[in-house]
Structure 1
């Protein structure tokens, strides 16, 4: 019922959005003599703010057709390397001549960036991908919006996620390097363990975890505490809703993206209110830089996708309530996931000192859980003065975190090539 009411509210606001769009055009028209007056700027800002708060944000574009590499523009093309109804593995193919001009290697290490399936699209990692493109052959998991997947395609749960990761790693070929950002940590670690136990020829050469809840019992955050304080039945009763018409996934039970968005925004309510106050002020003042910065962030942040009921509830149960992987109790298709089987996959963990989603210690727990990886194949790093988002995006990521990961990957690319 909540999903239907949400859609009803959105559609009911359509006439008001249309009116706001007309007002915005009127008060921004160069033919309007009052456009640049205080009244005109305030009216324009009011219409712009209303429209931005009530419109539907679709799946963002990657906008990485050209990437700057040390001042040299490198063109890229997106290729689909593997697909299922639930995910596409995208490859950012770099133009050879541009790569040569930038002084980079054509035969670069393959890196699979596993994007989180936790309410936002993979484009949230645009800055992450852009940094890696300079020195790597980059692949990214592009997860589907559950409301767009017809019921005939069946279920998608935590164990299907593990299978998808394994299949995508194999599809990339060779021994690629896997980088898991936030949520994917536990299933990616499980997938690597299973491939290691099989001595799979495409098992990763290295695995890097960034702000991931490998062991959510450590340094619990507000998010962790909510998952532990509420009984499992509460999540099933309050967080799961049915996809309404006219979406292709009509009838599918999902954890809606808008519920996740409201939950995240409520954690920092004052911050978001202040941001929109500044946005209104920048619109009135005609501060193009401030307006552009705000719109760039919120166009991405407000674009959300739905998760299947089974994947969301199993993640709550396995990762945040029972901590099965961290306790050595996780089974996949009836087979125990044994992290001690990982012996020749290098391990890097990256955390943010001020992370309020995955507290310090949750990600680096992977080192304790994988006792048979040699010390020479480990990297443990905590970035000072950054929160969750800063672990994989922004200036600190580009200048301090990415260089460490780049060198770590290069080192273990060389080692895997020798074996």
Structure 2
């Protein structure tokens, strides 16, 4: 039904776009009346809202460091069925620049949602990022992908990058990233992360539960399995795979702040009527990214609901990987930084900070907590507050522990 609706809206959006262009054509008299710009703006807003979206590009072509501007190189350095490892660097980085693995959330959006995160950290770091695949585009022959596989991917990525790597987990991946650090720490793996920064992550959702947490707790796991899991249609490579569709995740996020989203589109309409194309383009760019969604495998989604939001397996010390309980005491030298926003309506205050208390064998001087005032969930990793207030804290934390990382490499 969703695919049918998407196809129908796609045609309507195309006609609306054509209508908007005709109404704004200088050769047509209607464009010079008061009604023309209003009709054209309404059609353009509808066309933008109804258009289908695929996977966006990072499009980070240059980075400015001081007064110099450098070209950015983007490359796939490791390919896996359910996600690639991308590397970003530029010639302005020093030879011993910190290596940073950004772990993007597998929560319905593509890794490009962290474009601003990558661009800012690229000023001082050689940046890698997990580029997760859309589950409906992965052939069924590739097998399953669950929470254990997610952790294995992170360990493999850290091994590929090498010793001394710093890791940044944004939101949902804070849990598997924390688990990977504990597993590697317990084994004294030379490639264990030098630092792990968790931003807005649901380490312990019993702390200041949000509406997202409440939804996960109100229904048994079987309800999620029977009501939000679907089979990929025949038109996709992953036909038959059980997934949690990205459009359901987007619907949930939009419903949480429906009034704000409606006002944003009304604002875009007014900007278009007034001829303020720059302001309208900024709103369009945000929603182009926000509405680009992908599917998650049912195994990963259901295990995340069960262990992160319902059973609280990690903070209870009951989290298991490949049949073995994860010893959080294994984190003995990976420096931990927890970042939260006081306006975050997805991960409440204290949920990420809990990671610092769980690392009982880690010295206090290797733990840090930062609460960003007047910052919501999205603002933790994107926008001016991220660039000017949060990123410097992260850079200073990495710089502070970079000497230790270099010793491990040596």
TM-score bucket of the superposed structures, by smaller chain: over 0.9
CA contact (8 A) 1:79 1:93 kept: no
Which residue in the other structure is 1:161 paired with? 150
Q: Which of these residues, 2, 8, 16, is aligned with residue 6 of structure 1?
A: 2
Give how far 1:17 is off.
Answer: 2.3
Displacement of 1:14 = 3.8
* 1:249-328 equivalences in 2 (<5 Å): 249-328=238-317
Cα distance change on mapping 1:108 and 1:36 into 2, 3 Å: farther
Aligned position for 1:231: 220
Cα distance in 1 for partners of 2:195, 2:331 equals 11
Distance 1:416 1:11 in 2: 51
- Deviation string 1:57-79 (CA, Å, 9 cap, x unpaired) is 11111120112223422211111
1:112 to 2:101 alignment = yes
Q: Kindly indicate whether residue 327 of structure 2 is the aligned counterpart of residue 331 of structure 1.
A: no
Residue by residue, what CA displacement relative to the aligned partner does 1:357-409 show, whole Å, maximum 9, x if unpaired?
00010001001100111112111111111111111111111111111110100
Residue 164 of structure 2 is matched in structure 1 by 175
The answer to whether 1:24 aligns with 2:20 is: yes
Partner of 1:90: 86
Shift in Å, 1:92:
0.4
Determine the structure 1 residue equivalent to 2:34: 38
SS at match of 2:198: strand
Gaps of 5+ in 2: none
1:16-51 CA distance string (max 9 Å, x none) = 223212212211223223324322211211211121
Secondary structure at the aligned position of 2:79 is classed as: strand
What residue is the counterpart of 1:123 in the other structure? 112
> SS of the counterpart of 1:84?
coil
The question of whether the paired residues in 2 share the 8 Å contact of 1:81 and 1:172 is answered with no
TM-score normalised by length of structure 2: 0.97
Instruction: Give the conservation status (yes or no) of the 8 Å contact 2:200–2:377.
Output: yes
1:252-301 C-alpha deviation (Å, 9 max, x unpaired) = 11100000000010010111111111111111111112201101110000
Check the 8 A contact 2:10/2:52 in 1, yes or no.
no
Match of 1:59 among 55, 59, 83: 55
User: For residues 106 and 132 of structure 1, what CA distance do their matches in structure 2 show?
Assistant: 16
One of 342, 350, 357 as aligned partner of 2:339: 350
Question: Normalized against structure 1, the TM-score is what?
Answer: 0.95
Gaps of 5+ in 1: none
Counterparts of 1:142-153 in structure 2 under 5 Å?
142-153=131-142
> What whole-Å deviation, never above 9, does each CA across 1:71-112 have from its counterpart, x for those lacking one?
422211111121111000100021x2xx1xxxx524200000
Q: Distance in 2 between matches of 1:81 and 1:31?
A: 51
Alpha-carbon distance between aligned partners in 2 of 1:228 and 1:295, rounded to the nearest angstrom: 34
SS in 2 for 1:35: helix
**CA distance in structure 2 between the aligned counterparts of 1:251 and 1:65, rounded to whole angstroms:** 38
1:40 counterpart SS class: helix
Distance in structure 1 (CA, Å) of the matches to 2:255 and 2:248: 11
Structure 1 runs (4+) greater than 6 angstroms displaced: none
Show the counterpart of 1:80.
76
How many angstroms apart in 1 are the aligned matches of 2:56 and 2:225? Answer: 29
Distance 2:64 2:227 in 1: 45
Contact 2:163/2:405 (<8 A) preserved: no
